[in-house]
Amino acid sequence: MSKIDAKEYSDFESIRCVRKDGTEFWSARQLSLVLEYSKWSNFSKVIDKAMIACKNSGMNVLSDFTEVSKIVEAGATSKPLKDFELSRYACYLIVQNGDPRKEVIALGQTYFAIQTQRQEVADYFNQLDEDNKRLVIRGDIKQWNMMLAEAAHNAGVITDEEYARFQNSGYMGLYGGLKVEDIHKIKELNEKQKILDFMGSEELAANLFRITQTESKLNRENIKSKDNANATHFEVGKTVRKAIEEIGGTMPEDLPTPKISITEIERAQLRKLKNSKRKLMLDE
């Protein structure tokens, strides 16, 4: 992302408002200024087009485009000023119907498309049961662990033994000094069973944050030595632990251990898919 893009993205984010119930909205008046519309009458036409698009998509127009009035001073008198509290989706439709010649419109299209997609993913994730949440996060961890391994290698962690110590450092930071073997004992696992396969979604999420932030820090600070890499992993894990403590969360070692491993869940779901009447690509 260029510096210009970053600034414009920041502009869209800075005018985002949050209600007491946690829901978000954008003021149409403020959005018009960011999108460089000098006349409200011109921007109103864009809003009208966006409302039609919203209706045609089957969404609730009144919910996404909530009309409000604000009292403003006009000399010795005051008058109501029409405005809208816009949902993220409403903003997305507005920038889709905006003046395509404006660079800021293209940036707005990208910003609100990404934000809308993120919300859809979050909504979908929140509807999943615990087992499927575990599957999703575990899949993310597998991908990020590959990136972490590459970053660690670039930092000087070369051999399998060195990488084992590197991983252990991260666990020790997050788990209050507990080593991998200690966590195995707490979870009552044998040597062949993977710790990550016996974590609930909350514990997995904490470890995913540890992994992503360590990978980012190793690359960002261009760390070069296995000792510094180990220390970085430990400190990141420790910082994540401190954050959990500060918000009153449960320490990862105190979270319940699921009875069923993620590997077993994967196998069960694969069997279910294979036994379904619907033909699968993997059967072709």
Average pLDDT over residues 170-193: 94
Residue percentage of the chain with pLDDT more than 90 = 60
Find out whether 151 and 157 touch, Cβ atoms under 8 Å: no
Write the pLDDT tens digit of every residue in 1-11.
433 344 456 78
Report residue 283's pLDDT band, with 50, 70 and 90 as the boundaries. Answer: very low
* Same domain as 173, residue 97: no
Beta bridge partners of 210: none
121 and 172, same domain (yes or no)? no
CA–CA gap between residue 253 and residue 207 (Å, rounded): 12
Supply angle C-alpha 121, 252, 126, rounded to 5. 20
Identify the domain boundary among 107, 126, 145.
126
Q: Torsions phi, psi of 127, nearest 5?
A: -85, -10
Structural domain ending residue among the three candidates 126, 149, 181? 126
Question: Range of 31's domain?
Answer: 3-126
Whether 13 and 118 map to the same domain: the answer is yes
Residues 80 and 220 in one domain: no
Rounded Cα distance between 28 and 66, Å, is: 10
How confident is the model over 11-52, as pLDDT tens digits? Answer: 888 899 999 888 899 999 999 999 999 999 999 999 999 999
Percent of the chain with pLDDT over 70: 90
Note whether 174 and 117 are same-domain residues.
no
- What is the pLDDT averaged over residues 109-122? 78
Q: Do 243 and 172 belong to one domain? A: yes
Domain boundary among 95, 126, 157: 126
Counting Cβ atoms within 10 Å, is residue 119 exposed (0-12), middle (13-18) or buried (19+)?
middle
**Are 170 and 225 within one domain?**
yes
* Chain position carrying tokens 């209706």: 55
Amino acid at 6: A
User: Is 168 found in the same domain as 58?
Assistant: no
Q: Mark whether 134 and 216 lie in a shared domain.
A: yes
Q: Are residues 109 and 211 in the same domain?
A: no
Total domains in the chain come to 2
Q: What is the pTM of this model?
A: 0.62
Question: In this structure, are 110 and 150 located in the same domain?
Answer: no
Section 154-181 average pLDDT: 96
Q: Which residues of 121-137 are buried (b: 16+ CB within 10 A; e: fewer)?
A: eeeeeeeeeebebbbeb
Same domain, 252 and 174: yes
Strand partners, 26: 16, 86
